[in-house]
Amino acid sequence: MTKSANTMWGGRFAAGPDAIMEAINASIGFDRRLAPQDIAGSRAHAAMLAACGIITDNDAKAIREGLLTVLSEIETGEFPFSTALEDIHMNVEARLRDLIGEPAGRLHTARSRNDQVAVDFRLWVRDQCDQADAALAALQKALLGQAEAGADWVMPGFTHLQTAQPVTWGHHMLAYVEMFARDRSRFADARARMNTSPLGAAALAGTSFPIDRQMTATALGFDRPMANSLDAVADRDFALEFLASASICAMHLSRLAEELVIWSSAQFRFVKMSDKWSTGSSIMPQKRNPDAAELIRAKIGRIFGANVALMTVMKGLPLTYSKDMQEDKEQTFDAADNLMLALAAMSGMVTDMTAQRDNLKAAASSGFSTATDLADWLVRELGLPFRDAHHVTGSLVAMAEGKGCDLPDLTLADMQSIHAEIRPDVFDVLGVENSVASRTSFGGTAPEQVRAQVAHWKEVLK
């Protein structure tokens, strides 16, 4: 490597950086991803400088057109990225100077890389919020398709992964539709809060040039300029809000992935995963492994990690900018990439999986899943206090367990040996279909409730 003074600030420096300094300092290896945002920001800035009479219209025109050439060079892969030029901002500006000469040197008037990187990264993260929203909407639609098909398919509901009460497949699918709706609203909230422009904060203190910050804010789709120049260059809470929202969304994805792993096992057989989303084993011919679900479950760790990493980068920094903040990008890029991949894979798996209706029903009917219905019957029909009804039912479950049968298999005489007043109509509530049909409270698992929710979500997601 040649040791020449940096072309951007060579006036102050006699020698160039050590090779290791260059390696630790350069961000071009990853921040080249911000090229479209960097160029959009610079084009808005140049137009504003001309509108405010700070540079000439001709210079602004040359800069704005030259930047489009740079963008197309980057898009076609012919752009000569240089590590010596450190980052995307200086790579773009240096290339602009090659292309248009002297006017390129006027672009950086009333600006610093500090507000430049803040605006670039905000634009990038804002776009990721939109992409997450679209991917989540697609996943919700996939779940809704499952919910609609199986609004009245009975399956076991679990607590502690022990059979609790029968629920419907549709109800279970809709639980995730609700979770992913809240995830969408978290991304939307974060997006609304981050949508203010740091451009024009310059290095940290603002600028003595008569700039128009509202003009650049509007051009870049921001609601308004940020009101404090120190805050504008110093904070990365927008990226942290994205990562926090991504972490919660990832946690939801991981729980669903975990259920798919369990449900597709030979012990459960609740779902059959499509061939498209399964792999075989090189040695065990019977295997169908739910790799995509497992990888989603695992990839979530990176997203949590990125959130913790950036929190840790930021927590001890005095205002305003410190180079530490260059470490905001790689983690966020990786988290966003993996979130989008996980969302796309989950949508595909959910769309293509087949619920095993008979197995769901058989599982729902075992494990004394209607014991609560029996206790409720004793309260409703015989006027027992719930605690007593719980006790009587517990004795009946123990009796069934002792006989190796399920509650509906007990005879009336068996039942009456525990509580004399039990009548034959008790058997009506012991069937799983009746059990789910009875849970008509708002938000409950009764098919009529589930269908009403399906209709609601079809309207919302239309």
37 makes contact with ligand ARG (CB under 6 A): no
Total Cβ atoms within 10 A of residue 145: 15
Radius of gyration of the chain (CA): 31
**Residue 332 CB, nearest distance to ligand ARG (Å)?**
11
Q: What is the largest CA-CA distance in the chain?
A: 101
- Scanning 6-14, 93-101, 318-326, 356-364 for contacts with ligand ARG by CB under 6 A, the matching segment is 318-326
27 makes contact with ligand ARG (CB under 6 A): yes
User: Got the DSSP string for 251-289?
Assistant: HHHHHHHHHHHHHTSTTT--EE--GGG-B--SS-TT--B
Closest CA to 154 of 378, 434, 377: 434
Determine the 3-state secondary structure of 20 from DSSP.
helix
- Scanning 109-117, 134-142, 267-275, 354-362 for contacts with ligand ARG by CB under 6 A, the matching segment is 109-117
Cα atoms in the Cβ-side hemisphere of radius 13 Å centred on 93: 22
The single-letter code of the amino acid at 109 is: T
By beta-carbon proximity to ligand ARG, the closer residue of 114 and 140 is 114
Q: Kind of pairing, strands 224-225 and 196-197?
A: parallel
- Scanning 14-22, 214-222, 322-330, 406-414 for contacts with ligand ARG by CB under 6 A, the matching segment is 322-330
Determine the 3-state secondary structure of 187 from DSSP.
helix
Distance CA 140, CA 135 (A): 9
35, 71, 117, 384: which one contacts ligand ARG (CB under 6 A)?
A: 117
Based on the residue annotation, tell me whether 160 is a catalytic residue of this protein.
yes
- Give the phi and the psi of residue 315 in degrees, each rounded to 5: -65, -25
74, 110, 271, 325: which one contacts ligand ARG (CB under 6 A)?
A: 325
By beta-carbon proximity to ligand ARG, the closer residue of 27 and 435 is 27
Copy the structure tokens of residue 143: 């779940």
Quote the Cα angle for 41-47-48, to 5°.
90
By beta-carbon proximity to ligand ARG, the closer residue of 17 and 166 is 17
Distance CA 172, CA 342 (A): 20
By beta-carbon proximity to ligand ARG, the closer residue of 49 and 325 is 325
**Residue 323 CB, nearest distance to ligand ARG (Å)?**
6
**Residue 446 CB, nearest distance to ligand ARG (Å)?**
55
By beta-carbon proximity to ligand ARG, the closer residue of 31 and 93 is 31
Which is the catalytic residue, given 72, 281, 322, 395?
281
87 makes contact with ligand ARG (CB under 6 A): yes
Based on the residue annotation, tell me whether 419 is a catalytic residue of this protein.
no
114 makes contact with ligand ARG (CB under 6 A): yes
153, 180, 263, 321: which one contacts ligand ARG (CB under 6 A)?
A: 321
Quote the Cα angle for 382-387-389, to 5°.
35
Which is the catalytic residue, given 160, 208, 282, 441?
160
320, 326, 338, 453: which one contacts ligand ARG (CB under 6 A)?
A: 326
Q: In residues, how long is the chain?
A: 462
45, 95, 113, 186: which one contacts ligand ARG (CB under 6 A)?
A: 113
Positions in the binding site for ligand ARG (CB under 6 A): 27, 31, 87, 113-114, 117, 321, 323, 325-326
List the catalytic residues. Answer: 160, 281
